[in-house]
Structure 1
């Protein structure tokens, strides 16, 4: 998985051949990034100068963000522009081995195949054996609690699921329990159901008091009598029919609905699209042509299609730009207040991506607070009469504090889950679906069908011996990558050699070259995501 890290804009650079010094010089204008000059001077007036490896023929200079430190591997994406490799994004894989991240407990799979078992009980009256997805537990008679504990590498999601167990019990009834982290610590567990002798299957429902994200173990509790049980299957299965939710897409060009409304609605109905996000022109703080918009919304409603406004600009997050965004929300709210129910917008969506701003415009450390401040201002302007939805990237799923702070202001989120592999799509969607269920909100899962320009990916590894193609230098505490046109050997510089180059065609991100594959995947994804109460449907970017 690549992690998108927004970097500085194209830097001002002067790079002659066979240079030996890198100079970081003040920006020409306030707020601009520093200038980088590479030449053979040991010092440049007013600049910080750092020696490069002798014989360096510099191709490009790429500063990392403050605080970033490359380890053994550097991955750079970009393309050759004006004869030089222009880096667009980077990844710094860590070699540090931390604890494995828990995965969501899968659906429809025999969980026993990936579980571990151990016994407990002061009377030591239990034997347990787990192999090839088959669990056998044998209990001698006793009065004290005893049984088997089953653990696995997962957390439980907030999907509407139950455990389906296939088994055969002899001599008495076994109790199935579950424990989260807090209950595990105090030696407690919650009952899920009973595996009775004479039955062949059981449906075990997670109790409402369980902290699913903190799931730690299942407990199979022996009866007081002598008994044994064979559990041959244990799988998470839907506890109810999946929730149906509409498909949606974006219409960024106003003319598509203003001039071609009937054709647009015909197309949308034919594609099974039931929600459209359209750009609504404003004039003087109000909808430009409310009558035309009302007629379009009514025509869409007659076809079973609802309309949202959509706006998108990273600068909206800046304090000086928030008032303009607030005025847009007030314009939509005023339009709705003046219209009958069948002509109103369903809501307003904002696709604001602050990470696209260079750090000289908005420091990374301030992004979250600025975004939440903007969202609160927009919510205050929307009031109770206008639904507010925010488009967010999938990697915000690893920032629960930010998502929780959004909960009071966002009626819904649309997560840009731009992947084509089904397992990745599901994995990245789950944190948002769980968030929606926890906060009583909705989440729309967005997929990409637009064209993405191919990029070249270069992978560099630390050169422990021999020449290198990239030098990492420290300039005033900031790491700067210096890409070389030809390998150079050095015994004291931090050098990386080019280990491989490949072209990334976007097929892992967009369905543009295979839209039929997208349409084939949608029903299965909708079935699975529909197990969450907060699922708001799938949106497809650039479907048309």
Structure 2
């Protein structure tokens, strides 16, 4: 990034936007902790950029044709995550009854693994059998950003082998699958090399699938197909992936559909079913600074290769050079948690689920909804 002086940025982060000229504002999210600001992420806000099509008269209407036959739809599944192992061990019948009453037909549960062996195997087998009797399928879920590092991946491979060994030892009550929620973009190394880290994610998915002995599910952020290296990583990993789950944590059906659209398109291209994940549990409000486009400002947006741009935040105003754009501080606002989580409001959740399902049904890759924090 070129600039008039050599002042160091207070904070930098990657953002994903194709056309820098379309960005009219940048939101910088932060938390207040122990008297300091912890910056979380930057989100560009886009204007309606003119295109050749919009600058000229609209094209004539297309001729009326018979609609294409509907694509073969996946069976709709309603899933939930159970990250607390005590929930399925200590009250299995109560959990399954709540799942059945809520229309959930699939649970992703966390497992305890001790000395390379799945713990509580009798309880797990009983839970799986009871679930099947009530029409609820049970799968395992694993997740840690460090799975893209050599040490973290080695540890995860051992756990994958332990889960595979459980299935082999318990053919009467096997887990129905294994899913990975790795989220490597939470690591500091992602800021420096997003495409390289997603390449490591892809390699990890392939290695974990091989260790497990079957394809695995993959949970990804809604923006991954548009991220630098995102689609190549998904393409390389796709032979090892059974399904994608897009974290589209929003509460408005329009916003959910918009967020999920990129992963749904990627799933269609790759021939993979896509589940859309929503958040139902408790979250704290977030805070953000709003920076608006200006001749100079405290925030610079600098172009890199492809859809990747770099946000750099300074303590005071700087002047952009080259293709960089400046944004000056406008104001700060609170982003309520209710924008991204239903916060335990079951009635609002069900209403949004019904509307979202109807909106997404036209996507050939849409296969279901997954809920985080509902139990």
1:64 matched to 2:16: no
Which residue of 1 is the match for residue 247 of structure 2? 416
> Given that residues 189 and 197 in structure 2 are in contact (C-alpha distance below 8 angstroms), is that contact kept between their aligned partners in structure 1?
no
Match of 2:186 in 1: 356
Q: Distance in 2 between the 1:357 and 1:491 partners?
A: 30
Query: Does the Cα contact within 8 Å between 1:62 and 1:481 map onto a contact in 2?
Result: yes
Q: Aligned match of 2:223 in 364, 374, 395?
A: 395
Q: Higher strand proportion, which one?
A: 1
CA distance in 2, matches of 1:418, 1:250: 14
Change over 3 Å in CA distance of 1:455–1:377 after alignment to 2:
same
Q: Secondary structure at the match of 2:374?
A: coil
CA distance in 1, matches of 2:48, 2:159: 47
- Mapping of residues 180-259 of structure 1, within 5 Å: 203-205=66-68, 239=70, 244-259=75-90
Match of 1:460 among 291, 294, 299: 291
Q: Is structure 2 residue 171 aligned with structure 1 residue 340? A: yes
- Residue 231 of structure 1: aligned partner: none
For the residues of structure 1 that align with 2:103 and 2:258, how far apart are their CA atoms?
25
What is aligned with 1:373? 203
Kindly indicate whether the alpha-carbon contact (under 8 Å) linking 1:507 and 1:513 is maintained by their aligned counterparts in 2.
no
Shift of 1:298: 0.6
Q: Choose from 129, 150, 166 the match for 2:62.
A: 150
SS in 2 for 1:536: strand
State the partner residue of 2:353.
522
Q: State the superposition RMSD in angstroms.
A: 3.8
1:275 counterpart = 2:106: yes
Tell me what 1:142 maps to: none
Deviation of 1:471 (Å): 7.1
TM-score (norm 2): 0.80
CA contact (8 A) 1:243 1:532 kept: no
Cα gap change, 1:445 to 1:397, in 2 (>3 Å):
same
1:450 corresponds to which residue? 281
Following superposition, the deviation at residue 261 of structure 1 comes to 1.1
Task: Give the CA deviation at 1:513.
Answer: 6.0
Cα distance in structure 2, aligned partners of 1:505 and 1:357? 25
Cα deviations by residue, 1:221-241 (Å, 9 ceiling, x for unpaired): xxxxxxxxxxxxxxxxxx489
Sort the Cα spacing of 1:94 and 1:330 in 2 relative to 1 into closer, same or farther, 3 A: same
Tell me the CA shift for residue 543 of structure 1: 0.9
Bigger drift between 84-93 and 242-251 goes to 84-93
Does structure 1 retain, via aligned residues, the 8 Å contact 2:287–2:333? yes
Question: CA 1:84 to 1:349, structure 2 compared with 1: closer, same or farther past 3 Å?
Answer: same
Q: How does 1:46-61 map to 2 (within 5 A)?
A: 50=6
Larger radius of gyration: 1
In the alignment, the residues of structure 2 paired with residue 511 and residue 260 of structure 1 have an alpha-carbon distance, to the nearest angstrom, of 25
Q: Which whole-Å CA distance do the structure 1 matches of 2:139 and 2:192 have between them?
A: 29
Query: Is residue 30 of structure 2 the alignment partner of residue 78 of structure 1?
Result: yes
Q: Distance in 1 between matches of 2:154 and 2:139?
A: 21
Inter-partner Cα distance in structure 2 for 1:338 and 1:472 = 57
Deviations 1:338-394 (A, max 9, x none): 2234x110001110001000028973231121011101101111224xx51011010
- Give me the whole-angstrom Cα distance separating, in 1, the residues matched to 2:360 and 2:327: 43
Structure-2 separation of matches of 1:373 and 1:79:
33
User: How many corresponding residue pairs?
Assistant: 352
CA distance, structure 2, for counterparts of residue 521 and residue 259 of structure 1:
31
- When normalised by structure 1's length, the TM-score is 0.57
- Structure 1 117/520 Cα, relative in aligned 2: closer, same or farther at 3 Å? same
Partner of 1:307: 138
Unaligned runs of 5+ in 1: 1-48, 53-60, 103-114, 119-148, 152-164, 166-175, 177-202, 207-238
Structure number with the bigger relative contact order (C-alpha 8 A, sep ≥ 6) is 2
Measured at CA, do residues 325 and 471 of structure 1 come closer, stay the same or move farther in structure 2, by a change above 3 Å?
closer
Aligned mates of 2:128, 2:15 — CA distance in 1: 49
Q: CA deviation at 1:312?
A: 1.0
Find the aligned partners of 1:340 and 1:346 in 2 and give their Cα distance: 11
C-alpha contact 1:452 1:505 (8 A) present in aligned 2: no
**Inter-CA distance 538–51: structure 2 relative to 1 (3 Å threshold):** closer
